[in-house]
A = this chain, B = another copy of it.
Amino acid sequence: MEKAKILDALKEGAIQEANFEDIKYFPFLEEWKDIPRGTVVIEERVIPSYPRIARIMRIASGVPRHFKGPFLVEEKVDGYNARIAKVSGKMLAFTRSGLICPFTTDRIPDLLPTQFFNDHPQWVICAEIAGPENPYIEAHPPYVKEDVRAFVFDIIDEKGNFLPPLEKWEIIKAYQLPAVENYGVFEPQEIKRLYELLNRLNEEKREGIVLKSLDGGKRLKFVTPFANLHDIEVSSELLEELPPHFYINRLSRLIISLDELGKKCDDRLFYEAGKALLEGFEDALNKFKRQRRIYHTFSCRFHNPERAEALLQLLNRASSTIRVKKRSLIRENGFWVLTFDKVFLRSTSLLANLLRGQAVFD
């Protein structure tokens, strides 16, 4: 990106200066002209954004429609996206929107071997950070039982291009980077093989797959029926907070994917879907009646306690409808363990009004 463009963006207010420790940087928190959301300008470098991946809901029609030749299939891990880079000698992790994440940055040494960056100082690692102790999302893969782990799924070179999938896997192996599972190369007509894979992933309660053309130019995602139900279950406390299509889209995807995998809705599924949708909201209501707020408690581990404080600040600044309240920051097993509540202001005030007997037109 040319300097002139960045100066333009600054002048037009498209980017603002952000700070992390002694580093000054410029994240594009929103798309601006042809610069995608999440792009970061930092110390004379540009960290490219990670692109959104389109979804298909049918394998048998969608795969041959979008892929004319062989493609790689990788696991889709249920976590949050981080881009990891070494900038001016310092390891940093960026969120999807382009902010430096104090938590992920703090934990990079635990997440992956960083000698990779000695050989490729200008490259960027794209990884899903997943596990029960993360500050962002409530879902996590069943095989991460505590803390978080990194699952590398892409590498961006010094020119800002993704390594082609097979080349990327050579690098992942050479540097022993922790990575998503690689299910190998498929041909567009191998629908049955994809069904077998997806049925297995569904039984293993995994999120789904990402399909990548071998030239790296095309990516598509497909999620398992399980993952649709799981997303609803972990979010049903927020039934009056999240946009309603969050739940409805997952219900229709659930039905459409079950149908393709040859499964019918049975009584067990009806029960599980009803429970996933209702139980959390009932719990939230009961919690609200005692504590007058809708909140969720998060916990995560830090080496540096100042970064725990920086995370809380970041989360508070990032949303006008979520307020973060620290519960505790205590030393435990060699870490600083931060525990905090995210208070969801929209559903808190909505529920307060409804329970107060306010009349609404709907």
Contacts and interface: CB of A to CB of B under 8 A. Distances in A.
B265 A240 contact: no
A248 B251 contact: no
A87 interface: no
A270 B271 contact: yes
- Output the residue of A64, A239, A252, A267 with the most chain B CB within 10 A: A252
Contact of A355 (B61, B220, B265): B61
A54 B249 contact: no
A317 interface: no
One complex includes copies of this chain to the number of 2
Contacts of A254: 278
Given A244-B247, A259-B285, A65 B274 contact: no
B55 A360 contact: yes
A79 to B, nearest CB: 18
Contacts of A52: 361
Interface size class of A (residues with CB under 8 A): 35 or more
Contact of A251 (B56, B281, B356): B281
A279 B65 CA distance: 29
Given A52-B361, A361-B52, A251 B270 contact: no
A196 interface: no
A68 interface: no
Contact of A55 (B274, B278, B359): B359
Contacts of A55: 359-362
Interface in A295-319: none
A99 interface: no
B270 A282 contact: no
A270 B259 contact: no
Interface of A: 52, 54-66, 220, 239-240, 243-245, 247-249, 251-252, 254-256, 259, 264-265, 267, 269-275, 277-279, 281-282, 285-286, 354-362
27 contacts: A54-B360, A55-B361, A55-B362, A56-B357, A56-B359, A58-B356, A59-B357, A62-B358, A63-B357, A66-B359, A239-B252, A244-B244, A244-B245, A247-B247, A251-B277, A255-B278, A255-B285, A256-B355, A259-B282, A259-B285, A267-B275, A270-B272, A271-B271, A272-B274, A273-B274, A273-B278, A274-B277
